[in-house]
Amino acid sequence: MTKKTSNRFSPEVRQRAVRLVLEHAADHASQWAAIGSIAGKIGCMAETLRGWVRQAERDQGQRAGPTSEAGERIKALERENRELRQANEILRKASAYFAMAELDRRSKP
């Protein structure tokens, strides 16, 4: 499963929006209300901002789950794993091809 990410908002805007939510959560009835208010002001969907806030909370150790750094490491390892599987498949096919060629060479008088 791949997740489509958009770079419509710069990291600075994301950080500022998250900071605003965390700083002004007490001014609202709930964190979700703060998220909805701030999302409207910066022009993003509330659910998008909620994701940024949750990730920031994980990065700060306030919420369980993988940090941004761990997520990047996992992506890199998955990419490497995929590339190694492809290389193994190529080598397996090449080995079978050369084995068949060797059998054909031996069977000819």
Q: Long-range contacts: 1-10, Cβ < 8 Å, 24+?
A: 8/44, 9/42, 9/44
Residue 109 has pLDDT above 70, yes or no: no
Residue 4 has pLDDT above 70, yes or no: no
- Using one digit for the tens of pLDDT, what is the confidence trace for 16-61? 999 999 998 889 999 999 999 999 999 999 999 999 999 999 999 9
Task: Output the pLDDT for position 58.
Answer: 94
- Using one digit for the tens of pLDDT, what is the confidence trace for 64-88? 988 999 999 999 999 999 999 999 9
* pTM to 2 decimal places: 0.65
In the Cβ-directed half-sphere of 17, how many Cα atoms lie within 13 Å? 27
Distance CA 43, CA 58 (A): 24
- Using one digit for the tens of pLDDT, what is the confidence trace for 94-107? 999 999 888 888 77
Distant-in-sequence, close-in-space partners of 49: CB < 8 Å, separation ≥ 6 = 17, 18, 21, 35, 38, 39, 42
Task: Output the pLDDT for position 16.
Answer: 94
